[in-house]
A = this chain, B = another copy of it.
Amino acid sequence: MHRLQVELGDRSYPIFIGENLFQKTLLEPYIKGSQVVVVTNETVAPLYLGNLLSRLVDYQYETVVLPDGEKYKNWQTLQLIFDGLLKAECTRKVTLIALGGGVIGDMTGFAAACYQRGVNFIQVPTTLLSQVDSSVGGKTGINHDLGKNMIGAFYQPKSVIIDINTLHTLSARELSAGLAEVIKYGLIADKDFFDWLELNIEQLKNLETESLIKAIEWSCKIKARVVAMDETESGIRATLNLGHTFGHAIETHQGYGNWLHGEAVAAGTVMALEMSMQLGWLSIQDRDRGIKLLAKAGLPVVPPANMKVNDFLKYMRIDKKTLDGQIRLVLLQKIGEAVVTSEFASDILNAILSTNYQQLLDSILTD
């Protein structure tokens, strides 16, 4: 078992990574009172809920099982958690456990942030995407019809338990969606990691234990470092959103859940790579390395054909990174180095939004 620490003063917490980590000894130190509520969804519950509950027999526990999917990441579903907590007469000492992917983690964390103005919670992420990204760093929240993650809180868990065995029940599509965020870490922060990923992408797709643990640990280390420097995203943390401004526009426009978050991020990352190249920062070779790795990971690298320039702009203007009307983007100076900037001509952005990415992809693949 590997252990990392997210350093945030009195809100610091550990991340455990390994196999068979649903263990009493890992859970108990992070449960404050006698009440535990496990929040999960209809897909995950039959797979892992029984195992987790068998470690909680010493507690007064309840479960809340939500419908599965990004389209349920809204107030109505969040309300089901509050209903469960209140019906079980949970006090401020209750501990919530999020068992599931990013949607479950984000909603459970937000419920923990708001219930009686704040109770403890533990993240037990069961998808690759949530293991390398959303379970670490304390971003919680729900979507609004007009924008993704618009309602939420920065609220840190007490611990994160990453059991890679849960990945064996993940669909290939979900696994690829997680790899989009893994590749992102290489692109924005660590060229060595990117190089390693190019060599190990097949092993990861094949769920080889050693490679998986290494990729997850490397990703979480980068994320923990960035979050420790900038918890509430006033600076460097925004670089973690490479591809996300374009990606959120894709997710929102297509309707939550039709494009997986990781898929939208992948297509958005291609747009950011192209823009970084057009600005003269990234070489054509490095742009192509990025696009090829995303494609090899099984990800869409072409934005949806039905989205026009104005469809993107409409959603990008209310992105959380936008300040005083200025769209800000995460772009690459080179592989392993990202910047957040609004200093680009609107012409370039328009060109990027109207590029024919299918044509670009074809030209790269026939090189």
A322 neighbours in B (Cβ, 8 Å):
91
For residues 120 through 178 of chain A, which have their beta carbon under 8 Å from a beta carbon of chain B? 139, 141, 144, 146-147, 149-154
- Contact, CB under 8 Å: B150 / A118: no
For residue A365, CB closer than 8 A to chain B, the reply is: no
CA A115 to CA B320, docked complex, whole Å: 10
Q: Does A113 sit within 8 A of B, measured CB to CB?
A: yes
Complex interface: chain B residues within 8 A of A146 (CB): 83, 86-87
- What are the residues of chain B within 8 A of A139 when measuring CB–CB? 117
A201 to chain B, nearest CB (A): 33
- Residues of chain B within 8 A (CB-CB) of A323 are 33, 91-93
- A75 interfacial by beta-carbon distance below 8 Å: yes
**Residue A82, interface by CB 8 Å:** yes
When distances are taken between beta carbons in the complex, the residues of chain B under 8 Å from A318 are 86, 89-91
A322-B91, A324-B91 are known contacts. Are A153 and B82 too (CB-CB below 8 A)? no
A12 at interface by CB-CB < 8 Å: no
Q: Decide if B34 touches A92 in the complex (CB within 8 Å).
A: no
Q: Does A289 contact B (CB under 8 A)?
A: no
- Most central of A33, A317, A320 by chain B CB within 10 Å: A320
Task: List chain B residues, Cβ under 8 A from A141.
Answer: 114, 117
Taking the complex as formed, is A79 at the interface, i.e. its CB lies under 8 A from any CB of chain B? yes
Give the shortest distance, in Å, between A160 (CB) and chain B (any CB).
Answer: 19
Nearest Cβ on chain B to A118's Cβ, whole angstroms: 7
- Report if A341 contacts B (CB, 8 A): no
Inter-chain contact A113/B153, CB cutoff 8 Å:
yes
- Distance in angstroms from A330 CB to nearest chain B CB is 16
Interface size on A, residues (CB 8 A): 39
Contact call B79/A118, Cβ cutoff below 8 A: no
Say yes or no for A51: interface residue by CB 8 A criterion.
Answer: no
Per the bound structure, the CA–CA distance linking A41 and B323 in Å amounts to 28
User: Is the beta-carbon distance between B153 and A153 smaller than 8 angstroms?
Assistant: yes
Closest to A114 in B: B151
Interface flag for A254 (CB, 8 Å): no
A23 at the interface (CB under 8 A from B): no
Q: Mark A68-103, 1 if CB is under 8 A from B, else 0.
A: 000000010001001100110111110000000000
Q: Does A232 belong to the interface (CB within 8 Å)?
A: yes
A117-B86 in contact (CB<8A): no
In chain A, positions 41-77 with a C-beta closer than 8 Å to chain B are 75
Contact A152 B89 (CB under 8 A): no
Nearest Cβ on chain B to A18's Cβ, whole angstroms: 31
CA distance A318 to B90 in the complex (A): 7
A116 within 8 A of B: yes
24 contacts between A and B (CB under 8 A): A33-B324, A34-B324, A35-B324, A75-B75, A82-B144, A82-B151, A83-B146, A86-B146, A91-B318, A91-B320, A91-B323, A91-B324, A92-B320, A93-B323, A113-B153, A114-B141, A114-B151, A114-B152, A115-B151, A116-B320, A117-B141, A117-B152, A118-B153, A118-B232
